Amino acid sequence: MKLSLQNVVKRFGTHTVIDRASLELDGVHCLALIGPSGGGKSTLLRIIAGLEYPNEGRVELNGRAIEYDDEALLRHRRSIGTVFQAFNLFPHLTAFQNIVLPLEKVHGRTKAEARELAEGTLRRFQLLDHAYKKPAELSGGQRQRVAIARAIAIKPQVVLLDEPTSALDPEMTAEVLELIEELKGEGRDLILVTHEMGFARRLADQVALLANGTIAEIGPPEQIFGAPKSEVTKGFLSRVLKY
């Protein structure tokens, strides 16, 4: 994937949450965004997803600038898969319907196509046995796997994940991390916000540390975790790796 951020600024009221963030990446398959709470990771991911607009600056994904008019945004959102922190499944629908419905309503697939895609994806993730359960009847790990299945049912080239394991216990975390690793293995490009430093280290080819709305440091995991250059990175890692 190719990703370019050029002086991206996002303000909420008078609060500048993203403060001239810039980066240029090419040929990257997994970008991990790490950094302290409130640093702007989710906001930046939502901007890349086209769910939030920047006040200033420019974002390009795979050579195409994100344009902030309704039609272009909708096209952009449809072209990528997104999985956010809190499971955003429809509570009144079964796992199967949760996948089928957006395929029909958002992506314009016929009912038959949508059902076939949903079934194939659920089978792949060993979720067929749970297809007719509603979210409340699934474990946290299963729920998050359904959310990921839904995001990738359209086979997007780029998948954005915001702390996909933050609500899970260690065993379920492992289950979901395995699935994410598989996505990378099958050639999808990932942008991943994560608190799992070990996972970021193993999976990412570039790691960006975001603090106070700016990219304090970006580089391969060996640099960020092995020989960080920025004091901000050093401070952050010494805090999170302490326990």
Return the biggest CA–CA distance within the chain.
55
Q: In a 3-state reduction of DSSP, which class is residue 159?
A: strand
Residue 39 interacts with which of ligand ATP, Mg ion, none, CB < 5 to 8 Å by class: ligand ATP
**Does the footprint of ligand ATP cover residue 17 (CB under 6 A)?**
yes
CA 52 vs. chain centroid, Å, equals 14
User: Which CB, 44 or 61, lies closer to Mg ion?
Assistant: 44
HEC sequence for 50-73: CCCCCCEEEEEECCEECCCCHHHH
Residue 42 lies near Mg ion (rule: CB under 5 A) = yes
Distance CA 156, CA 193 (A): 18
* Binding of ligand ATP by 14 (CB under 6 A): no
Which CB sits closer to ligand ATP, 112 or 243? Answer: 243
Rounded Cα distance, 180 and 110, in Å: 28
Size of the site for ligand ATP (CB under 6 A): 10
Q: Residue 20 is encoded by which pair of tokens? A: 């001239």
Question: For residues 22 and 5, what is the distance between their CA atoms, to the nearest angstrom?
Answer: 5
The smaller minimum CB distance to Mg ion, of residues 109 and 213, is found at 213
Residue 114: name its binding partner from ligand ATP, Mg ion, none (Cβ under 5 to 8 Å by kind): none
Give the nearest distance from C-beta 230 to Mg ion in angstroms: 21
Per CB under 5 A, the segment of 34-42, 50-58, 95-103, 174-182 that binds Mg ion is: 34-42
Q: Closest approach of Cβ 160 to Mg ion, in Å?
A: 12
Residue window 36-55: x/- pattern of binding to ligand ATP, with contact defined by CB under 6 A: -xxxxxxx------------
Residue among 126, 221, 136 nearest 179 (CA): 126
Residues in the site for ligand ATP, rule: CB under 6 A?
12, 17, 35, 37-43
